[in-house]
Amino acid sequence: MGYEAIIGLEVHVQLKTKSKIFCSCSTEFGALPNSQVCPVCLGLPGVLPVLNKTALEYAIKAALALDCRIAKESIFARKNYFYPDLPKSYQISQYEEPLSSKGFVDIITDGKLKKIRITRVHLEEDAGKLLHEEVKDSTLIDFNRCGVPLIEIVTEPDIKSPREAREFLAILKSILQYIGVSDCNMEEGSLRCDANISVRPSKEETGKRGNGETGKELGVKVEIKNMNSFKAVEKALEYEMRRQIKALEEGKRIVQETRLWDENKEITISMRTKEEAHDYRYFPEPDLVLMEIDREWTERIRKSLPELPEARKARFSRDYKIPDYDAGILTSSKELADYYEECIEAARRSPVADRRSPVAGRKFNKEIANWIMSELLRELKEGNIGIEECKARPQALAEMMTLIDKGILSRKMAKEVFVEMFETGEKASWIIKKRSLVQISDEEALTKIVDKILKENPRVVEDYKKGKEKALGYLVGQVMKETKGRANPQIVNKLLKEEL
Ligand SMILES: [Zn+2]
């Protein structure tokens, strides 16, 4: 306590182009090692790189979606360093005059809107991949990833907690997926995040100690690498915060260095002292021309941007009249938002929905939202699959929801039906027929059960007659229990009222 963290992130995102950034080799993931290489991406002597126009277009698209200004002129630079996965011994990146700068992303933290400024978004090429575990005591190199287009997104040190860092990454990922420039798959390495963190006494604390305005001074920053998930980023930052505070309390000096996150031990380990920018001997790439970015082209790209998550969330709560919280979850990924809208659309087209009043429609929108957020998301999580691979299609879910609405299917039975629908992709009406799961709507049969329940609960009956409305709900529940959830609740309601 008494300390605050200052966090900045560097996010590398692989662009979803078919070919590499400076040659025509394929970027397809999972190909045989070193099968997607050529003299350009292997850095053989005498070759010339040529910029992939789609990579530039995607980078501009991402920069615009993050509210960055696109530079009129931009250049590539050589970042010089030796590493076995970098055959040229330099990476083509951008240093001075990057593609874009000065953007921002809004995040919600403690229920309040907060701006995280984006320093820059620039283009660069990826390096190869070292494989340490394939052959004992050896390291193999796969150059397929060499020259795959990346954008690097750098934030200002505006992030104040590990939680905020995670929040920012989730929003960034969703924006990039919405605009379709990257699949942001962390397992396949198409989204990677490094973090810079330092701690300093918080403002209140500095005041208390009578140190005056020193709260503005930044502590020594440490870079953390090797975090493979948003959760890992949060955990690594939490660990690092604790480590640095402990060191400061013990009067130790914090070293500017790069540390690796060890996922299994949940600690960060010192890797090397952090290099400064001048260690890389950046200089303008002589093999590539200056990029003059046409304003009209930029404007055309701006106009082609789809509805972004924030705007879609606002539209969901406005048009479908669902709570902000629901709208936030449903628009957290483009695929999930599409799923919800397709569901609503299918339900509207169904003959039952046509007779709906706007009020009933609103209730229905909320019910579909509830079902997706509870049942569907749970099944997806348990099966560890993405919504795009989900067999239960929106049309099938819409049909099931109308069956619940018509009283053919009880909510309890629907849960079972849905599990099967999720596994097989079959329609609810088919599953019901196959398993003879139809609701009991036979009044004669239900009256017998209703009478039995009334006899067993004289106290509750008394309460109801005294005007306690809630008592009815309890009695309905008892009938449902007796019929193992198969009784039609509307009819049970009607019969109970008549008998009472
Ligand atoms: Zn190539």
Q: Give strand pairing partners of 11.
A: 153, 193
The answer to whether 193 and 225 are in contact (CB under 8 A) is no
Distance 145 CA to ligand 1 centre (A): 10
Question: Could you give the CA distance from residue 163 to residue 234 in angstroms, rounded to a whole number?
Answer: 6
Q: Tell me, in angstroms, the distance from the centre of ligand 1 to residue 283's CA.
A: 23
**10 Å Cβ neighbour count for 468?**
12
> How far is ligand 1, taken at its centre, from the CA of residue 63, in Å?
26
- Residue by residue, pLDDT tens for the chain (500 residues) are 689 999 999 999 999 999 999 999 999 999 999 999 999 999 999 999 999 999 999 999 999 999 999 999 999 999 999 999 999 999 999 999 999 999 999 998 887 889 999 999 999 999 999 999 888 999 999 999 999 999 999 999 999 999 999 999 999 999 999 999 999 988 888 999 999 999 998 876 555 544 444 445 678 999 999 898 999 999 999 999 999 999 999 999 899 999 999 999 999 999 877 677 778 999 999 999 999 999 999 999 999 999 999 899 999 999 999 999 999 999 988 889 999 999 998 888 776 554 555 556 778 899 999 999 999 999 999 988 888 889 999 999 998 998 888 777 888 889 989 999 999 999 988 888 777 666 777 788 888 889 999 999 999 999 998 888 888 888 988 888 888 777 888 888 889 988 88
CA of 37 to the centre of ligand 1 (A): 4
> How far away, in angstroms, is 144 Cα from ligand 1 center?
8
Query: 78 has which bridge partners?
Result: 92, 283
CA of 66 to the centre of ligand 1 (A): 30
- How far does the centroid of ligand 1 lie from the alpha carbon of residue 108, in Å? 42
Residues linked to residue 261 through DSSP beta bridges, in sequence order: 268
How many angstroms does the Cα of residue 39 sit away from the middle of ligand 1?
A: 6
Taking the centre of ligand 1 as the mean of its atom positions, its distance from the CA of residue 392, in whole angstroms, is 41
- Which residues face 191 on adjacent strands? 13
Residue 165's pLDDT is 96
CA distance 102 to 106: 14
3 state DSSP class of 391: coil
Residue from 120, 116, 105 nearest 152 by CA: 120
Tokens of 98: 């990057």
Dist. CA 500–CA 498, nearest whole Å: 6
The backbone torsions φ and ψ at residue 362, rounded to the nearest 5 degrees and listed phi first, read -60, -40
Half-sphere exposure of 172 (CA within 13 A, CB side): 31
Question: What is the Å distance from ligand 1's center to 419 Cα?
Answer: 47
Q: Where in the chain is the domain with CATH 1.10.10.410?
A: 443-499
Report CA(42)–ligand 1 centroid distance (Å): 7
Q: Which fold has domain 443-499?
A: Arc Repressor Mutant, subunit A (1.10.10)
Q: How far is the CA of 16 from the centre of ligand 1 (A)?
A: 16
- CB contact set of 418 (below 8 Å; sequence gap of 6+): 371, 375, 376, 379, 392, 397, 400, 428
Residues at Cβ < 5 Å from ligand 1 ion: 23, 25, 38, 40-41
Are 179 and 16 in contact by the 8 Å Cβ rule? The answer is no
Query: What pLDDT does residue 385 have?
Result: 87
Distance 31 CA to ligand 1 centre (A): 14
Closest CA to 393 of 378, 373, 372, 413: 372
- Contact between residue 156 and residue 218 where contact means Cβ atoms under 8 Å apart: no
Asked whether the beta carbons of 421 and 437 are under 8 A apart, the reply is no
Pairing of strands 222-227, 257-262: parallel
